[in-house]
Amino acid sequence: MNLLGLALRARKLLVGENLVLPACHKHPGNVVFLASDAGENITKKITNKATSFGLTIVQSVDSDALSQALGKEHVKVVLITDKGFSNTCKDYLM
């Protein structure tokens, strides 16, 4: 989770449905963090979009953990836009 804060400071992170959905096609193969307690509609939208563009979806964290890691409130979805950060996240998760 510390890596998310670092990526945010490096401006390699998109936070929120309105930013993540249109950017999915620009970052194939990267990582999307989707809160496990996100609503049904946002979960369906993000899952469909991420699957079609080959993004890795991580749903093992809840909204509180994402919010705390980023220092923001009510974070439901995050897209890492940098390949290096994405690969490091995948290494930690696998």
Share of the chain above pLDDT 70, in %: 100
In 14-54, alpha helices (H): 17-23, 40-52
The answer to whether 15 and 72 are in contact (CB under 8 A) is yes
In this predicted model, what pLDDT tens digit does every residue of 51-90 receive, in sequence order? Answer: 999 999 999 999 999 999 999 999 999 999 999 999 999 8
Locate the domains of the chain by residue range. 2-93
Query: Model's pTM, two decimal places?
Result: 0.92
Amino acid code (one letter) for 17? E
Q: What is the pLDDT of residue 66?
A: 94
Q: What is the pLDDT of residue 2?
A: 84
Topology at the third CATH level for domain 2-93 = 60s Ribosomal Protein L30; Chain: A; (3.30.1330)
